[in-house]
Copies of this chain bind each other. A is one copy, B any other.
Amino acid sequence: MTVSRALRDPDKVSAKTLTKIREVVDRLGYVPDPAASALAAGKTNVIGVIVPSVTNNVFSDVMRGIYEAAEGSKWQIQLGNSRYSPLEEESLVRTFLSQRPAGLVLSGLDQSEDTARLLERADCRIVQIMECGPAPYDMMVGFSHVEASAAATRHLLAAGYRRPGYIAARLDPRSQRRLAGFRGEAEKAGVFDAGRIVTTPRPSTVTLGCELVADLLSKAPETDAILCNNDDLALGALFECQRRGIRVPDQMGICGFNDLEMMAAANPPITSVRTFRLAMGRDAFRMLTGALAGIEPEQPVVDLGYEVVARGSTARNGQG
């Protein structure tokens, strides 16, 4: 029928026929069958998104950015949860690809070899998010975790702290790079001490932040500042210090990562590294759908940067 044309490319149909078709469509409550469309066209309007976690605030902000950008468009977002497992990610990529998606959004740079092979052969557009790196499969939008945490470290040093420690949970690749950023900068300043690094494979929570600080202080009581791998840990660190009567920021500086909303509300407000998660989701969607519409991005890799937001938790009065 001409109906198919009318619905997808109204310009190619005369105005008269168009109105007639629309009238009938309304009356019958006709809705196109996406399965039939997918089968005939050999492609879909599905954009697959794979994130390591659906509960982590960081990724839910990114997801929100994607969903908001997709709102009202013809694109269907399909979300996969890899639970930080490269194997689950691979399985999700396989499932998604079998659906002939128009595009795929992946997190990070550290796909398994098999996944990488699948992606290189895939005939859909791909955006990697969360990080910036040298060799995108296709496109990329994120920031440098190494640089961001190096900047946070410099902030601590500039505030006068001299015996900084680091706490981290679930050492996924991005966490590791943040730790590396801290280490590099601390070594450069001659204040690095591996004894002031405490990590655990457990997923990060506020409670875990308390525990890691307890650990850190028992091993290295001289610690005068803590760079936390994320904001949950930072909040826990603040609570634990307060419970122990350790004055923040005077006796102990605390810095988080991501700058979740609650950081500014804490007492004292907690210094953190702001990242642009909503924008990341939105931009990833726009790059992808733009490319699908034939508009190639000016740069395949977009660096959204970061921003150290200094607050009370590192506003030291005296000096170290």
Residues of A within 8 A of B (CB): 31-36, 38-39, 44, 54-55, 57, 60-61, 63-64, 67-68, 71, 76-79, 81, 83, 88, 94-95, 98-100, 205-207, 209-210, 232, 235-236, 239, 242-243, 261-262, 264-267
Whole-angstrom CA separation of A244 from B239 in the bound complex: 18
Which chain B residues lie closer than 8 Å to A265 at the CB level? 205-207, 209-210, 235-236, 239
Whole-angstrom CA separation of A143 from B262 in the bound complex: 28
Instruction: Give the residue of B44, B54, B243, B264 whose beta carbon is less than 8 angstroms from that of A64.
Output: B54
Whole-angstrom CA separation of A265 from B81 in the bound complex: 27
Whole-angstrom CA separation of A210 from B63 in the bound complex: 27
**Contact B35 A44, beta carbon cutoff 8 Å:** yes
**Contact A98 B34, beta carbon cutoff 8 Å:** yes
**Contact A261 B54, beta carbon cutoff 8 Å:** no
Which chain B residues lie closer than 8 Å to A33 at the CB level? 39, 98, 100
A67-B54, A67-B81, A242-B267 known; A261+B207 contact, CB < 8 A:
yes
Interface of A is mostly: helix
Whole-angstrom CA separation of A68 from B54 in the bound complex: 11
Whole-angstrom CA separation of A49 from B271 in the bound complex: 37
Whole-angstrom CA separation of A243 from B209 in the bound complex: 22
**Contact A64 B60, beta carbon cutoff 8 Å:** no
User: Can you offer 6 A-B residue contacts whose CB atoms are under 8 A?
Assistant: A35-B44, A39-B39, A54-B64, A78-B79, A206-B262, A243-B267
Closest chain B residue, CB of each to CB of A38: B35
Distance in angstroms from A4 CB to nearest chain B CB is 15
Which chain B residues lie closer than 8 Å to A76 at the CB level? 78, 95
**Contact A78 B81, beta carbon cutoff 8 Å:** no
**Contact A99 B64, beta carbon cutoff 8 Å:** no
